[in-house]
A and B are shown apart, each in its own frame.
Chain A
Amino acid sequence: MNLTLRHAALATMALTLAACYPDDINSADDLDTVTTLFNQQQDFGAIGTYVVLDTVVFIDGDGEGGDEESSISHAYDDQVLAAVRRNLDAAGYTELADPAAGPPDITVLASTTSSTTVGVAYDWWYYYGYYPYWPGYGYGAGWGYGYPPVSVAYAYTTGTLLLTMIDAKNADIVGKKIPVIWLGAVNGVLTGTVQVSRVTDGIDQAFAQSPYLRAR
């Protein structure tokens, strides 16, 4: 087999592999996740009325406020709470117009939190730099391209909307425990622009993947 055919085969294979490598993540919303957890002992069919607290509470991890709170906007709280009510109504629950008239079967709390992750990525493709040289002198002293960066620092902030469904009627007053019967968490990478649809779509998905909420 001659060299030309061998080299052509190798080149063809390299080009084929380079062209076929799958693309992964193209935008921040590709990283959105929705997680739901529920108490398997709970009879959701027995739930009739609900109340949604009218404030989306920011859970400040270090308790000192500051930059973390500013990463979560409260300008869209009404839209978030409206989406929660819409899904609860669609599940067959009834909002208690006057909580003072009697305790609701469930209370839904919406809260947010954020977390910033920092790290360093290493790019080994550019590990060696290239030094030009003067003929006869070897590598020129003091001249040459610097090494391209081999490490890149990165940081990103993720935000989470937590929907907590509690059964306050069966609270353990002595033990100071309130049963959480359902938890939904919508998580995603925060970007410079607000896309409230990512949050409301996440709320819809949380209820869609919880068919037991509609068991009645």
Chain B
Amino acid sequence: MLRLWRNLLVTAGAAVGAAWPIERAAAQEYMGALNYNLGIPTGDTRTFTDNESWLGFTFEGNWFVRPNASAGLLFGWNEFYHQTDEALPLENGTISGGQYRHLNVFPMLVTAKYYFNSTSEDASIGTVLAPYVGLSTGTYYVRQLFDIGTREFTDDGWLFGLSPELGVLFPLRMGSVAMLSARYNYPFSGGNFLGDQSQSFQYWTISLGVAYGR
């Protein structure tokens, strides 16, 4: 795991360094964004909480190394919630009652993005419609909570993961920018969650937000 982290950091650093222009003529230096997230569970996430998450947001900071490329940081949160009365099988029996399941996921990622249609000062972020692709890597803090009756069971863990993204920037009036994107969050299986199991809590996020920059 440590070797993987080291290799990724070295690769990311080399990529940023190779992209660093000799003459920095970027029309946009920095762009911060605040997004509302809709979370769509898949895999282990859907097994535990079979409902979309309407609670979530991300903060992003993107620093432009070229007019059409940025690197940055992302911090986010989504809570998945599921209430059910279905009976749960035990090793030699069954338990039923109101179950309240919460899954809180906090991604903390390093991001890299490439913007189309944004190649010069005349066609820079904030002035043109700019589709983009991105790839992020980092860690996900996951907290799992299971309530049944008067008993509460919790477990948490840190998972390394990747997150590809597709999005588009819309220029708005007053110089602001709207962001619409789809991101797949893929924490790799690990940890020791409820049921003494390793889990990979994967999910999609559909994000809509506003961005500001200089």
Give the B-binding residues of A (Cβ under 8 A). 1-2, 5-6, 9-10, 13, 16-17, 20-22, 24-25, 30-40, 117, 156, 158, 183, 187-189, 205, 209-210
Is B164 positioned at the interface, with any CB of A under 8 Å from its CB?
no
5 A-B residue pairs with CB within 8 Å: A1-B210, A5-B176, A33-B97, A33-B98, A35-B95
Contact of A37 among B90, B98, B147, B210 (CB under 8 A): B90
Q: How far is the CA of A183 from the CA of B96 in the complex (A)?
A: 14
Say yes or no: A205-B96 contact (C-beta < 8 A), given A22-B81, A24-B147: yes
Give the A-binding residues of B (Cβ under 8 A). 34, 36, 54-55, 57, 81, 83, 87, 90, 92-98, 100, 147-150, 174-177, 209-213
Say yes or no: A31-B150 contact (C-beta < 8 A), given A17-B55, A37-B93: yes
Say yes or no: A6-B83 contact (C-beta < 8 A), given A17-B55, A31-B149, A37-B90: no
**A200 to B: closest C-beta gap in Å:** 15
Q: How far is the CA of A32 from the CA of B209 in the complex (A)?
A: 42
**A132 to B: closest C-beta gap in Å:** 35
Residue pair B174, A1 in contact (C-beta under 8 Å): yes
Q: 10 closest pairs, A vs B, by CB?
A: A33-B97, A1-B212, A37-B93, A33-B149, A1-B176, A209-B94, A22-B81, A9-B210, A35-B95, A30-B98
Residue pair A17, B97 in contact (C-beta under 8 Å): no
